Structure 1
């Protein structure tokens, strides 16, 4: 049932990406707005359908559904890369979608479709590789989030802007450490090193998660000045929660308190 959990989480993320991209387009970008609306409706439907399955569902039905969702994820990935190309070639002047943000959401779409392929085919990484690769991916996502927050807060919110910049620096450093650990494979994949790696990341992700929660609550209460959509504030908070859950699962696997790779099963 793991693939259904992935679909339920990431289809909502893809749906919200469609909304955020649409909000960043110019009024005259009617074709792009229409495409974004189409993807919003598509992933809203996928999210709803995913909840209709149960543990008793025939695995073959789930595999077919996964394949269908993979196609949708591939299409939204291509849409996002098209937008990035338009922005970088200066064909959308005056829009409000940062190039890094568009690249960011396309990386998440690619991650989503890759996970579906792994789960459908059963081509799953060994635990040490999964620990490093998943952390490299999510550390980059968290670093990006901090940068987006610092740029979307009003400049007069000096204290919060500075906090976001500090998180950006922290996660950039953690990402480089993760990449160093990755390049030292397989010799670096000892339980003590991987355990320390997870412990260090968990502390920073927890702090960032709490910062995002505070920012979300303040934005929803209209207590700070920003151009951050309340849904975006909740969106980045949920992704930090997802990363923490993953770290905790990996910790359990390393200590033997959980079955190997429990997150990589149907």
Structure 2
């Protein structure tokens, strides 16, 4: 059972960390999609509810495993979860097709949101497959690819927040628009750095890349936290579900955690497996 450059204990820790985080995200995606369907979309609502239960069960089981669990058990669990992630990805892409062909008039899921959640399902699936096969990217490639993925996710979040706030919340809407523009710019910069590979993969360039992105993600994370707290306290006007506000906050926290690990790795520091299960 090849695991590339990571040991068996780290393989278990990384696998459980990915599943614990992303299974909750997939579960919540199922809820959000279901809320956006029309009353007559009973089959789609039932499918969304089925995926909610599947990932709720996966999340529960993931928390029952420990770092000292037999790696072969975790490898089998990864395979099972990657199949579920593939299935929910296919469901999301089918829903996106229905929306774009105007088959669900009046439903309230933005096409970009459905595409967004399908990209996350695909990311989750690929992470588990990489861990099981041991085909983990070298650090320079991982830094660029993770940033390209997450920067786009953050840019999308800013757009969703801006569109779901009440238009009368002019200051917050403007802040969301500014974050959207900032992260669109960062996505372009990351794409440029990616296209310059491998020549662009020097430690000074990658360090600056991580540092610059980290500053912007911290600002967006703080904005999301403020919005989440204001929504929970019913102090602002919006149609944002409180769980969605917390959902996007947790994803920003996840990105910051990854950026911190990259920053430390570039400096030569080792990341302990206990820190992976943060």
TM-score by length of 1: 0.97
Find out whether 1:166 has 2:213 as its counterpart.
no
State the partner residue of 2:247: 235
Q: List structure 1 runs of 4+ shifted beyond 3 angstroms.
A: 259-265
State the partner residue of 1:75: 87
Displacement, 1:260?
A: 11
Counterparts of 1:1-266 in structure 2, within 5 Å, are 1-258=13-270
For 1:42-67, what per-residue CA distance to the aligned partner results, in whole angstroms no more than 9, with x for missing partners?
A: 00000000011112211000000000
5+ residue gaps, structure 1, are none
Alpha-carbon RMSD across the aligned residues, in angstroms, is: 1.6
1:226 and 1:259 mapped to 2: Cα distance?
40
For 1:125-179, what per-residue CA distance to the aligned partner results, in whole angstroms no more than 9, with x for missing partners?
A: 0000000000000000000000000000000000000000000000000000000
1:182 and 1:70 mapped to 2: Cα distance?
27
1:124–1:264: 8 Å Cα contact kept in structure 2? Answer: no
2:17–2:276: 8 Å Cα contact kept in structure 1? Answer: no
Cα 1:137–1:71 change in 2 (3 A) is same
Displacement, 1:104?
A: 0.1
TM-score by length of 2: 0.93
| Secondary structure of 1:258's aligned partner | coil
